[in-house]
Structure 1
Amino acid sequence: MPTSAHVTGILLRVAASAADPPQLLPAREQMAFTLGFHIILVPFGVALTALMLIANYRGLRHGDEQALLLAQRWSKVAAVLLAVGAVTGTVLSFELGILWPGLMGTYGAAFGFPFAIEGIFFFLEAIFVSIYIYGWKRLPPWVHFWTGVPVVVASMGGTAAVVAANSWMNQPGGITMRGGRVVEVRPAEVFFNGAFWFESVHMLLAAYIVAGFSVAGVYAVGMLRGRRDHYHRLGFLIGFIVAGVVLPVQVYVGDVVARQVFNSEPRKFAALELLPTTGTHVPETLGGVLIDGKVRYGLKIPDVASLLAGFRPSTRIRGLDAIAPAVRPTDRSVSVVHLAFDVMVGTASVLLLLVVWSVWLWWRRRQVPTNRWFLGCAALSGFVAVVCLESGWVVTEVGRQPWTVVGLLLTKDAVTTQGNLWPFFAAALGIYLAVGIGALLILRSLTRRWRAGSDGDDEGLDVPYGPNRPLTDAHAGEGRHE
């Protein structure tokens, strides 16, 4: 028989659900879609430019024409994706104001500060990307190379600023409230909030993993099709080595992040572990969902969750029952967070096995792995890395529910209460579909020209998309003197 407390909790949750404004569902769906789309572009803005500079450096240092050709072509891809990211990011900025006036109206003075910093970094990135692209035929080789460094630095700073805003919603601080309004903002405390460092490092490493494996995957496909020349082997190696070096570091950082969540965000940790009740000797549940407050269909490994959280089986983990029923996440929300966490860990483990396999193959033959099974798996690694990234983003965003700003603002209180939002969601879908298809068509056009041996200037057009030849005389001369 249910207890009176249980019945009261159910009634409170039903009442809270009934009070949700009709705009909440379309607003959340639209924000989830647009954020999920935009987050795929972030790694290429952050890390593809770094891969570009690695190729550029090798080309100059060793007189490697194919490395310079890679750098030139990757700079074009980076420019296209930067433009797409600018469009999707602009839509997101409008959505914050239109869909979530409760957030921006009350906490905009604090929440908006990291975005102002991000805007500065974005302008710097856009300026230096333009200089770098135009500079292929107009600047001395090493001067041109150094114009690319601010692009990498600015992209990292911009990412850190956006993560600062997101992490502030998880662990808000740096503000003084009076009468329900923000009366004082301490910018440094807002930016460097309690969750900033581990979230920003985690995201930055994820960007390099996604970009590295995605680039490696493209050249792995070429190698599978018989293109085993220096150009394809080098393109594969630069991407795969960067991702392979960063991935083990990310595994360690992910473990630290999980422990930080255990200490600072017990509600989210309970969802990660699919834990309805507080206890010790908590098992690690693989798969499974929460139905009527009970775990169904999961595979439980005894004591592992407690061991991972506190290094002892007796570690006590707070469950969902420790959260007030009125602000307790729904069973569906908890299940989504838990399954996304499982996917994130599972895909990261698969990628780590791929890296270990590559090391073993290299150790045996001391050459770029050409095993077709390995190349086939490497060709899929970029897609797997994107799935890992998306699932991690779901953990971060859905894991905060039902709060928009934890402890201060519920999501249902942040959403607009005006109008029918479904048409706006449909419009956003149309915009993003058009932008996505346009970007793919442009990239496909570029790759076709590259396969044909053209870099776009064969009609005499003076455009920033690459010199007439893979290596200019100035670059060749200085590269050979090194």
Structure 2
Amino acid sequence: MDDFLAARSQMALSLGFHIIFSCIGMVMPFFMAVSHYLWLRTGNENYKNVTKAWSKGVAIFFATGAVSGTVLSFELGLLWPTFMKHAGPIFGMPFSLEGTAFFIEAIALGFYLYGWDKFNRWFHWLTGVMVGITGIASGILVVAANSWMNSPSGFDFVNGQYLNIDPMKAMFNQGWFSQALHMCIAAFAATGFAVAGIHALMMLRKQNVGFHKASFKISAVFAIVAAFLQPLSGDISAKFVAKSQPAKLAAMEAHFKTDTHVPLIIGGIPDTKKQEVNYAIKLPGVLSWMITGDPAKPVTGLDRILVKDQPPVAVTHYAFQIMVGLGMMMMAIGAIGLAAFFKWRQWLHQPWFLKLFIAATPAGFIAVEAGWTVTEVGRQPWIINGVMRTADAVTPMPGIQYSFYLFTAVYVTLSIVVVFLLKRQIQMVPVIYDKPQLNPAL
């Protein structure tokens, strides 16, 4: 493994783990706040136990997210020094503000964890809400920095020099809204289905059913809403990518030849030598219509992109297909969930219904990983789109492969510890036994 591949692999590994920790850290505080609110309004002890259990999970992922995020910050400077030398002064603003949001989140989480029976109960609940708001803010700010790499702005690039720097314009670049919206909704969908799936499994095993039923309902509602919103945000993102990164869109769709009435490709195996896609389902004119609003308008293909500037087609295409396929699957399960919540409530206790959510437990996070693969691999060979190549930004320091092996071991170990701690928290939840009623209709 050469140093360039090792540096990219280490960054991919770190991002791959961190994005899961950060998604859960962004979303779980909202689940926690909703459960806390329901306990305050109803007095149901199951909601109180759910809140306390989830708050411990929030603390675990806050710690792991902080560690993995700090590692990423150091890796940017150590693995990509040329990139940080030029890009740091331009897109440093969102990272600085993210640090502020993280600081406020830490204070709010401290108040929340140690505020039980010490603060006014509504103030205590509000500190939990603040944990969620600042967590989302942190995620949006980091995504804003990443979106700048995809759609750089806030500077003039003249004769190899970065001039007239405007950090605010760089932060609020043209891509920040669509990418942040898509990422936030994806985080809610992924975390919602993961949490709902875990509690559905416990319900299927008939373990502490009251607790897990309350947990399942809250997380499933978030998951279902996010699953239906995600295609809308995806459409916004795809249209922006078509304008700002036509090479990425062409790789996503394995679209080789610029043409009108371009079909939407479902599945398929790209053949870059023959410039065709085999074994794909093609919907005539749909891609042209989705991107331009008119099937007769052309969509840029890879034939308009220099070969040296083309991203890896196969990886980008497969990742995009996985993301979309899992998104559609989650939306289908969401439709069944809506029917269960609003019409056929007896489904909520049926094994087949619970097994649907159990099967979908990893789907959201696989989709998130696939989406980030599209974002990062689809931008190659650029680290700053159209300005700086990734190969020109890598560190000259040798021996990066050993660092990659070490970090792989650390992250795998960290993940095992997190799973152990979460399993322990679930097992320690107290059981609430419903009091028998003389009249079952009451």
TM-score range, shorter chain: over 0.9
Q: Is residue 401 of structure 1 aligned with residue 380 of structure 2?
A: yes
TM-score, structure 2 as length reference: 0.93
Q: For residue 319 of structure 1, what is the aligned residue in structure 2?
A: 301
SS in 2 for 1:317: coil
Question: Letter of the aligned partner of 1:408 in structure 2?
Answer: V
Q: How far, CA to CA, are the matches of 2:39 and 2:20 in structure 1?
A: 29
SS in 1 for 2:34: helix
Q: How far, CA to CA, are the matches of 1:154 and 1:140 in structure 2?
A: 21
Q: How far, CA to CA, are the matches of 2:36 and 2:354 in structure 1?
A: 25
Q: Is residue 420 of structure 1 aligned with residue 399 of structure 2?
A: yes
Q: How far, CA to CA, are the matches of 1:335 and 1:139 in structure 2?
A: 55
Q: For residue 4 of structure 1, what is the aligned residue in structure 2?
A: none
Deviations 1:85-133 (A, max 9, x none): 1111111111101111121011111132211111111111111111100
Percent identical pairs in the alignment equals: 36
Larger Rg: 1
1:285-364 to 2 correspondence within 5 Å?
285-287=265-267, 288-292=269-273, 294-299=275-280, 300-329=282-311, 333-364=312-343
How far residue 422 of structure 1 moved from its aligned partner, in angstroms, is 0.5
TM-score, structure 1 as length reference: 0.86
Question: Letter of the aligned partner of 2:152 in structure 1?
Answer: P
Q: How far, CA to CA, are the matches of 1:293 and 1:133 in structure 2?
A: 60
How far residue 145 of structure 1 moved from its aligned partner, in angstroms, is 0.6
Q: How far, CA to CA, are the matches of 1:368 and 1:228 in structure 2?
A: 19
How far residue 364 of structure 1 moved from its aligned partner, in angstroms, is 4.1
Question: Letter of the aligned partner of 2:140 in structure 1?
Answer: A
Q: Bigger CA drift: 212-221 or 176-185? A: 176-185
Which of 243, 256, 264 aligns to 2:236? It is 256
- Counterpart contact for 1:233–1:368, Cα < 8 Å: no
Q: How far, CA to CA, are the matches of 2:368 and 2:357 in structure 1?
A: 17
- Counterpart contact for 2:253–2:317, Cα < 8 Å: yes
How far residue 406 of structure 1 moved from its aligned partner, in angstroms, is 0.6
- Counterpart contact for 2:228–2:334, Cα < 8 Å: no
Q: How far, CA to CA, are the matches of 1:181 and 1:114 in structure 2?
A: 22
1:252-291 to 2 correspondence within 5 Å?
252-287=232-267, 288-291=269-272
Gaps of 5+ in 1: 1-20, 455-468, 471-482
- Counterpart contact for 1:278–1:316, Cα < 8 Å: yes
Q: For residue 133 of structure 1, what is the aligned residue in structure 2?
A: 113
Q: How far, CA to CA, are the matches of 1:296 and 1:430 in structure 2?
A: 38
Q: For residue 28 of structure 1, what is the aligned residue in structure 2?
A: 8
- Counterpart contact for 2:254–2:277, Cα < 8 Å: no
Which of 424, 428, 435 aligns to 1:449? It is 428
Q: Is residue 194 of structure 1 aligned with residue 174 of structure 2?
A: yes
Gaps of 5+ in 2: 434-442
How far residue 23 of structure 1 moved from its aligned partner, in angstroms, is 2.0
Q: Which of structures 1 and 2 has the larger relative contact order (alpha carbons within 8 angstroms, sep 6+)?
A: 1
Q: Bigger CA drift: 119-128 or 439-448? A: 439-448
Question: Letter of the aligned partner of 1:290 in structure 2?
Answer: D
- Counterpart contact for 1:309–1:315, Cα < 8 Å: no
- Counterpart contact for 2:98–2:137, Cα < 8 Å: yes
SS in 2 for 1:75: helix
- Counterpart contact for 1:46–1:159, Cα < 8 Å: yes
